[in-house]
Amino acid sequence: MQKKIQSALISVFYKDGIDAIAKKLHDAGITIYSTGGTQQFLEKEGIPCVAVESLTTYPSILGGRVKTLHPVVFGGILGRRYEEQDLKEMQQYAIPEIDVVIVDLYPFEETLRNTSEEKLIIEKIDIGGPSMIRAAAKNFRDVVVIAAKEDYAALEQLLVDQNCETTLEQRKAFAAKAFQVVMNYDIAINNYFNPDNTAVQTSSAKQVLRYGENPHQQAVFYGDLKELFTQLNGKELSYNNLVDVDAAVQLIGEFATDTNKVFAIIKHTNVCGIAARTSVKESWDAALAGDPESAFGGVLVCNNAIDLATANAINEIFFEVLIAPSFDEDALQVLKSKKNRILLELKAKYTKASSQSKTLLNGILSQGTDEGNFAEWKEVGGRETTAAEKEDLIFANLVCKHLKSNAIALVKNKQLVGKGCGQTSRIDALRHSIEKAKQFKFDLKGAVMASDAFFPFNDCVQIAHVEGVEAIIQPGGSIRDKDSIDYCVEHNLAMVITGLRHFRH
């Protein structure tokens, strides 16, 4: 069903690009209705407009809060041209037909990023804009709605190619986009007022990815990565890259205030190497030594600037992504030698979300993020931990927190020397971690062990002790905690109960 455009309502916050489309409308003899700042901007560009106030007979009131909320405006948008009664009422009340609605929304999310002052944030909750967009989208049989400047070019092309006519399919497609714009806007407002109940997280920024987890799966990322990173080199991030980058950033965030330089290697969201040292190069060497096989094709992350010495060392292996707060210029030149290698500069303002959610079954599952390392530090073994052991235990527990359950982390001198993750039993996770340590020639004498959950039996403690582990950290909570504790007491091993489990499924 072709429809000829004869009138348009334009009311936008951002004026860039609107003059070109308004000029085309005007040149085609289309009447333009407008308000406030938009009207002034267009008239300054030599494009005549009819003030909305001349239709409503009301001025903009309440500091601009009420401008377009009037039956004449919404009647012109919602009036059904195919309903005889609607047309009679529109004629009776002198309501003009409005065929195109071009409206954007107050920058609520941008305001949130730039200020914490509630008064300013509240004033950027748009009322009239979403209402006009929804009204125009609902009446897509007769009205074209443009709710984002990304669609200006598409409308301009239609005006030229189709002589200011649109098809029903085109109007419906614009309506679908418009409803999504309003949905995203409302979700952002909901998340502001309900920060602990953000079950649905989305964004108006949409990035179509090459494919999903596998090549036959389509994928889209909703969000603006530029808020978090400056990409300095490389190809577009893939679905799997994004998942691993998220895991890497969450992990390194645990060491944001660490006085040491921490370097970590992520593979399929699990930590396969991590170490803390006094220099970035030393921390890289130690992290890589933890599992040089798994590091191939991994995602690398550091809490300090990447210098030339480290860049030269990293450059020797294949990796997908490197994340750091900054890069020395000479280091950057070395790392850019591979054009597809993704280099991300993590912005200092990054903060972890307070909640996480995922779709499953026929709904959405939401929870608060796993915050903290330990709720208590309860020494229950045969002796107190030494200062060095305590540092290693704190480090190991954070590493274990970021491994898939069931998980065991073996650490020595703030270096991950063995890990077992994603196992169906805790004892298998321990066996795997010991096997990894032996594969890369680590001596476990004096190492510490972290477990993401309690030990149901004392078998893990016994096996770890035989291999040289002398201090253990675990959340506790088993009805048989005493078995493991008694073994530690009997064999003079240190054990710490934290009271904080770190399952990760």
Nearest to 310 by CA among 343, 348, 340, 267: 343
Q: pLDDT value at position 112?
A: 85
Q: pLDDT value at position 490?
A: 97
| Pairing relationship of beta strands 144-146 and 363-368 according to DSSP bridges | unpaired
Q: pLDDT value at position 349?
A: 61
Give per-residue pLDDT as tens, 59-73. 777 777 777 778 888
**Catalytic-labelled residue, pool 23, 24, 124, 268:** 268
Distance CA 70, CA 467 (A): 78
Residue carrying the six token digits 């396969």: 272
Alpha helices by DSSP H, listed for 35-167, are 36-44, 52-56, 71-78, 84-92, 108-114, 118-123, 128-138, 152-161
Residue 268 annotated in active site: yes
DSSP 212: S
Name residues of the chain where pLDDT drops below 50. none
Give per-residue pLDDT as tens, 453-474. 999 999 999 999 999 999 999 9
Q: pLDDT value at position 488?
A: 97
469 Cβ contact list (under 8 Å, min separation 6): 410, 444, 447, 448, 449, 493
Predicted TM-score (pTM) of this structure: 0.74
Distance CA 485, CA 472 (A): 10
**Catalytic-labelled residue, pool 138, 149, 177, 404:** 138
HSE-up (13 A, CA, CB side) for residue 56? 19
Q: pLDDT value at position 294?
A: 95
Residue carrying the six token digits 């992350």: 301
Q: Helix, strand, coil: what percent of the chain each, to 5?
A: 40, 20, 40
Q: pLDDT value at position 203?
A: 55
